[in-house]
Amino acid sequence: MHSFIHLYTLMEKTYNPEQIEAKYRSLWEDKNLFSSDSNSTSENAYCIMLPPPNVTGSLHMGHAFQHTIMDVLTRYHRGKGEQTLWQPGTDHAGIATQMVVERQLAAQDITRHDVGREKFIDKIWDWKEQSGGTITSQMRRLGTSVDWERERFTMDDGLSDAVHKVFIQLYNEGLIYRGKRLVNWDPVLHTAVSDLEVISTEEQGSLWHMRYPITGTDEVMVVATTRPETMLGDSAVAVHPDDERYTHLIGQTIDLPLTDRKIAIIADDYVDMEFGTGCVKITPAHDFNDYEMGQRHDLDIINILTDDAKINDTVTSAYTGMDRFDARKQMVKDLDEQGLLEKIEPHTLMVPRGDRTHSVIEPYMTDQWFVKVAPLAKPAIDAVKNGDIRFIPENWNKTYYNWMDNIQDWCISRQIWWGHRIPAWYDNDGNIFVADSLEDAQAQAGEGVTLRQDDDVLDTWFSSALWPFSTLGWPEQTPQLSRFYPTNVLVTGFDIIFFWVARMIMFGLKFAGDVPFKDIYITGLIKDGQGQKMSKSKGNVLDPIDLIDGISLDDLLVKRTQGMMQPKMAAKIKKQTQGEFPDGIPSFGTDALRFTFAALASFGRDIKFDLKRVEGYRNFCNKLWNASRFVLMKLEGDSIDAKATLSTSDEWILSRLQATKANVEKHLEDYRLDLMSQELYEFVWHDYCDWYLELSKPLLADDATKAGTQATLLKVLNEILTLLHPIIPFITEEIYEQCCTLTGKDSESLMTQAYPKVEQNLISPQAEEEVKWLQTFILGIRQIRGEMNIPPSKPLPCFVQNTNDSDQRCLNTHSQVLNSLAKLESIDQLNINDEAPESATALVGEMKVLIPLAGLIDKDQEAARLNKEIEKLNKQRVQFAGKLNNEKFVSGAPEAVVNKEKEKLASVENAIADLSTQLEKIAKL
């Protein structure tokens, strides 16, 4: 028992998220409460690796969503007393970041080549210093409780060492090799990109039908192509071996138009006889399928393009130096003039574009570095198959297998400057020395040999793939590595399963000797209200910070349309935005946004983001705020007796609380944050606020029950705060502090409070039963009021009839509560034979609750209401009776089910009988 030391400072009537959030953001960090050193003696460790966002990026809705999920999990485990590390950091994002700086240079009309490699890289570092704090400060706004002291960057020294070590080992084991292969070439960036960085979309194009003359005859073969310019590099024409139209031509040659070359006519069952004319031109140097076929048939590989995707001079032609698309036009024209163009059909085709530049990607022969993936993939597939790693939701493992089973070697070299430079040196004879440093390479090559380092850098995802162990200090065997690896869960979107997740699994198993994480929680993708992907070009992007702080329509319009190239598009976006947010966006506060994200975190693929939801959860925060205000007001000036006798209502809310805790626990275990937040929402709003706080009012007015109620109000509020804290940390922390001030409790932070456990001894079926009775009683009366439009302020007299022992007990105990909550002026008992006044009726089990009409209630109206009620019950009766009359059901279903059905029927029949009698009475009047 402790008494209050100061008078409770009155809380504002409406909560103000802005003030609260600012207060705790710095406070938590100042007190080092996110540190992974806390709870270091705990038996359990818990670790989440933050998927490192682009260092120069900014926080978008997807980040905010996933960060909320991770923060809920982190704060929950921290609250359970586990040593918890949420590892933050950022990614250097090679191409993306380099492009930003190149664009800045372009504005001054210079290229990176004008600047030179070293200076250019310095410029990028400068840019990183300048803008690198954006995303981390936005994360702080969200309240993400990462261990900031352990923040890492993929190009930190330690992480770079890990990259070297991995590269060298893979090379030495023959799992990294260099070779000339057909790769996806971005002609704007002048670099190879991986398959994953190429986005193919349907575009309107043409199918050109070209006549290829057969050598020495008047015959032609008509080949159809979507890229006529590649004909310069044709090595053959292929037909299907079973295609009788062309069997006689197999083995003959074609005089390739616009060139002086002859190419073979070959047969291959890859050819689709139905498509076009059934004849396919084969260009091994510029098409992946053709390349395969070229390998099968030992065809020439004729590269016709330059790095800029202009026609080169390999093939003597009139098109050398022309851009491929200009050459296309010219060649089509020339073919037409020579009578070699059969027709042009409109055609939708899949056009591959770079995910960064959106330029058309060309398959292109170049020297590149590759990871031989198959040997690494095998154990990575097994890890999921044998359950070491679990996808959540489970069906993503199919997507994973699908990709892993058909995995291609990974092109890891990029012809850009920003990134980890490939640790390989060449001598003048082209010998390769892979080493940690020039010195090591020199040692390998021998004194006096001139070495030149490879110009390329590694794919960004190469270093990201090491993230789960490189951030923990690998290759050193650090205490953190042994404590936190393997990590518990990876939270990420399905869009990077291939880019990142699969590669982390492969490298984790290979180098850290274990899976990098046990669970992979694949979240949905946040879409706009119409289900559209949010993108700058669509102008439908929402900035999480704008939802927190609010934004005026004007500012939002500027934000969404600035930098728009097409004024038409800008106008459209403007209109759309005005329609959707006529008054801009109000400020909802971080907690409301976080609650929304948690509530949206179901297992669906797409999450349509609806502002109305945020508003609803903002209201929830306000509700919680005001409920707390109420509790504190009712506690003020008194001392709390934790051992005071409890009323049934107290026992009831405590019992409900236990069920809530159990469910929250379960939902968290299942990663169902939507169900978790729903559970808490319902408990707080509907059990605690709607019922318990109302019940507490008469109980607080009674000295016999006051102390117990006060203790219970506070206990439940405190646990609510702790339970909600992982989702809405700011408001709960503030209320907690107010509670501490009031009760004189000395506590550092809600964050360090133990997460409440289920207390079995507080589960009380009897209290739940009794309050259920109370609720039914009150609801019955409210319904009569509601339907008869009797104001809630009007006190009503009430009679009860046909009571049993337990009804009597309840009436004795709870009459005061009933009077208060149902606003009754009296409750009088009638014997079963007593003549009741003309009344509206409600049923509580077998007991009748009667509200005399007495001029207040229209009898026709009551008759109509009863009729409706009876009709409803009748529908149920028919359903239950139908089942029970079914012999097969009675004999086939388990006895318990049949009995339950019988009970339901009996209860419905009773109710119908009671209400019908009442209806008759009323009708007679």
Q: Which is nearer to RNA, 236 or 404 (CB)?
A: 404
Crossing angle of helices 648-669 and 673-682, in 10° steps, is: 170
CB of 732 to RNA, least distance (A): 15
Buried b (16+ CB within 10 A) or exposed e, 74-98: bbbbbbbbbbbbbbbbbbbbbbbbb
Contact between 659 and RNA (CB under 7 A)?
no
Give the one residue of 9, 406, 760, 833 binding RNA; rule: CB under 7 A: 406
Interatomic CA distance for residues 305 and 288, integer angstroms: 15
Range in contact with RNA (rule: CB under 7 A) among 25-33, 173-181, 569-577, 669-677: 669-677
CA atoms in the 13 A half-sphere facing the CB of 252: 18
Q: How far is the CB of 134 from RNA (least distance, A)?
A: 27
Question: Minimum distance from CB of 598 to RNA (Å)?
Answer: 13
874 is a site residue for RNA (CB under 7 A): no
Q: Is 14 in the site for RNA (CB under 7 A)?
A: yes
Our finding on whether 619 is near RNA (CB under 7 A) is yes
Pair 465, 503: CB distance under 8 Å: yes
**Where in 114-173 is the site for RNA (CB under 7 A)?**
none
**3-class secondary structure per residue, 587-603:** CCCHHHHHHHHHHHCCC
Considering only 326, 355, 388, 690, the residue that binds RNA (CB under 7 A) is: 690
Looking at residues 24 to 43 of the shown chain, list those that interact with RNA (rule: CB under 7 A).
Answer: none
Smallest separation, CB 511 to RNA (Å): 26
> Which residue is listed with tokens 């306000």?
622
Q: How many whole angstroms separate alpha carbon 38 and alpha carbon 54?
A: 28
d(CA 159, CA 719) in angstroms, rounded, equals 42
Task: Render 79-121 in DSSP notation, one character per residue.
Answer: HTT-EEEEE-EEB--HHHHHHHHHHHHHHTT--HHHH-HHHHH
- Candidate segments 428-436, 550-558, 673-681, 826-834, binder of RNA by CB under 7 A: 673-681
> From the list 398, 452, 575, 809, which residue makes contact with RNA (rule: CB under 7 A)?
398
* CB of 805 vs RNA, minimal distance in Å: 22
Which range touches RNA (CB under 7 A), out of 24-32, 135-143, 412-420, 666-674? Answer: 666-674
- Tell whether residue 876 is a contact of RNA (CB under 7 A): yes
Residue 647: C-alpha distances to residues 218, 660, 711, 805 (Å): 104, 20, 11, 20
Q: Smallest distance from the beta carbon of 524 to RNA, in angstroms?
A: 8
Q: Which stretch binds RNA (CB under 7 A): 55-63, 171-179, 600-608, 834-842?
A: 600-608
**Quick one: which of 6, 103, 568, 612 contacts RNA (CB under 7 A)?**
612
For the record, the structure tokens of 779 come out as 């609801």
478 binds RNA (CB under 7 A): no
Q: Which of residues 630-649 bind RNA (CB under 7 A)?
A: 630, 633
Largest CA distance in the chain: 119
Sign of CA dihedral 659, 660, 663, 665: negative
Q: Which of 678, 776, 802, 916 binds RNA (CB under 7 A)?
A: 678
d(CA 630, CA 99): 56
Q: Is 652 in the site for RNA (CB under 7 A)?
A: no
Of 823-842, which residues contact RNA (CB under 7 A)? none
Q: Is 882 in the site for RNA (CB under 7 A)?
A: no
745 binds RNA (CB under 7 A): no
Q: Which of 787, 838, 846, 858 binds RNA (CB under 7 A)?
A: 787
The only residue of 432, 659, 662, 689 in contact with RNA, by rule CB under 7 A:
689
Q: What CA–CA distance (Å, rounded) separates 118 from 80? A: 49
Per CB under 7 A, does 868 bind RNA? yes
Ranges within 546-565 binding RNA (CB under 7 A):
none
Give residues 486-515 in contact with RNA (rule: CB under 7 A): 498
Residues 692-721 that bind RNA (CB under 7 A): 693-694, 697
Q: Name which position in 63, 281, 618, 661 contacts RNA (CB under 7 A).
A: 618
CA neighbor of 848 nearest in space, from 802, 807, 809, 804: 802
Nearest to RNA of 403, 426 (CB atom)? 403
Residue in 795, 799, 793, 846 with CA at minimum distance from that of residue 827: 799
Any contact of residue 783 with RNA (CB under 7 A)?
yes
Angstrom distances, CA of residue 375 to CA of 13, 80, 164: 64, 40, 20
Cβ pair 255, 271 in contact under 8 A: no
Burial 31-69 (b: 16+ CB within 10 A, else e): eebbbbebbeeeeebbbbbbbbbbbbbebbbbbbbbbbb
8 Å CB contact between 285 and 295: no
Q: Does the footprint of RNA cover residue 4 (CB under 7 A)?
A: no
> If DSSP codes are grouped into helix, strand and coil, which group holds residue 829?
strand
At residue 29, the 3 state secondary structure works out as: helix
Which residue number, 193 or 221, has a Cβ lying nearer to RNA?
Answer: 193
Piece in contact with RNA (CB under 7 A), picked from 135-143, 473-481, 551-559, 622-630 = 622-630
Q: Say which residues have a Cβ less than 8 Å from residue 744's Cβ, sequence separation at least 6.
A: 2, 3, 4, 5, 6
Q: Please list every residue from 313 through 332 that binds RNA, using CB under 7 A.
A: none
Least distance in angstroms from the C-beta of 399 to RNA? 6
- Region near RNA per CB under 7 A, out of 118-126, 194-202, 455-463, 552-560: 194-202
User: In the set 200, 639, 829, 899, which binds RNA (CB under 7 A)?
Assistant: 200
Instruction: Please say whether the beta carbons of 59 and 544 come within 8 A.
Output: yes
User: Among residues 150 and 629, whose Cβ is nearest to RNA?
Assistant: 629
Q: Which of 151, 893, 902, 916 binds RNA (CB under 7 A)?
A: 893
- 183 binding RNA? (CB under 7 A): no
Note whether 421 binds RNA by CB under 7 A. no
Q: How far is the CB of 910 from RNA (least distance, A)?
A: 11
Told to check if 908 binds RNA by CB under 7 A, we report yes
Instruction: Quote the least distance from Cβ 193 to RNA, whole Å.
Output: 13
Report yes or no: 539 and 565 within 8 Å, Cβ to Cβ. Answer: no
